[in-house]
Amino acid sequence: MTTVKRISLALIIVLAVVALAAWWVVRLPVFGGEASGARLARMQQSKQFHGGRLENTPPYISDFSIMRELNAYFGKELREPTFKIPVVAMSGQNLGATVAPGLRAWWLGHASVLVEIDGVRVLTDPMFSERASPFQFIGPARLHEVPLALELWKNIDAVVISHDHFDHLDMATIRHLAQGGTHFYVGLGIGAHLERWDVKAEQIHEMDWWQEAEIKGVKIHCTPARHYAGRTSMNNATLWTSWMLKGPSHSAYFSGDTGYADHFKAIREHLGAPDLALIKIGAYGDTWLDIHMNPEAAIQAHQDLGAGTMLPIHWATFNLAYHDWDEPILRTLAAAKTQAVQVISPRVGEMFDFAQPFINQPWYRQQNNK
């Protein structure tokens, strides 16, 4: 055998081993399951299903450029804080009490928020693991502690999931909450992930845009978003969503990850203006705006919704973008001031009560955290 043939054979063997290893890795439970049977058939009936996958309307067209992304990656932005982000510790004992009437919210970091609305406890995209990654030894690590350890979370009535990316859908968190009987409201296809993680079928509620469910008198509306999904690739095998919670007396909206589009106005037209809007402001870039809106667009989205109070989310927890870590909140507050939008900026774990005045503290400024 010639040297060239030996090298070619060795290369083929190496590639085969790599391919086999990759195939094995993506079959690990953390990557979830794949829709099939009745679940897949239901997805195929969705208005968002085209050409074998789910799509935005109009479709998202990537503006990805390797050189542009590399230039952004090697920028001089301060992507992590130089001081310890203040966290208000929460007590697990409070979760043992009956939910009082009214509307309250605790930002837990990133897109995770505990909402108490008209007697019902809801978590949005609960992600309490250390890293936003399929593996806890590598990937973006938390920039602050969680306000309450995962094992202390209990008595959560419902969880709403915006999409299945690792910074929004966390296997360890889902498995723990499922053991306590929590119900999960998810977009089409995501039920396959939960099913593989041993969540009981009766706790899984898969929904398409504009569908609704109800738990303890609070209606949970699955509403549109402009993003993409996929646990192992950008194949849009599951549906990305936003959510509207409407109780007898209060309402709250959760944007999930989204670009700015006319769906915010459509949501208001269909469901009315929410009292509280949890809207993403972070992890954006010039080439991402179709699926990750910037702070100014977030303020416009809030206005389109006609919402009362805005609680900014999706920032300060993971280093996922090429801007300064505090740029999202600074730009949001500046834009809110010019548009007379009421924005609160609570510390991680700090309670916001819709019935009480809230005083913003600039905790994200280093001089206030020495």
Name the residue among 95, 169, 108 with its Cα closest to residue 134: 169
User: Can you read off the two tokens belonging to residue 66?
Assistant: 């390797």
Kindly report the length of the chain: 370
Is the Cβ–Cβ distance between 53 and 235 less than 8 Å? yes
- Taking only Cα atoms into account, the Rg of the chain, rounded to an integer number of angstroms, comes to 21
pLDDT at residue 158, as a whole number: 98
Other CB atoms within 10 Å distance of the CB of residue 357 = 5
Task: Domain 92-368: give its CATH architecture.
Answer: 4-Layer Sandwich (3.60)
Q: By three-state DSSP, how is residue 94 classified?
A: helix
pLDDT tens-place string over residues 130-145: 999 999 999 999 999 9
| Pairing between β-strand 158-160 and β-strand 120-124 as defined by DSSP bridges | parallel
Q: What's the pLDDT band for 276 if we cut at 50, 70, 90? A: very high
Q: Phi, psi at residue 204, to the nearest 5°?
A: -105, 125
pLDDT exceeds 60 at position 23: no
pLDDT the model gives residue 167: 98
Cβ atoms < 10 Å from Cβ of 42: 16
Q: What's the CA gap between 345 and 86, in Å, rounded?
A: 12
Grade residue 11 by pLDDT with cuts at 50, 70 and 90.
low
Q: What would the two tokens of residue 77 be?
A: 């932005």
pLDDT in tens, 206-233: 999 999 999 999 999 999 999 999 998 8
Cβ atoms of 205 and 186 closer than 8 Å: yes
Which pair of tokens denotes residue 196?
Answer: 């593989």
pLDDT tens-digit series, residues 169-186: 999 999 999 999 999 999
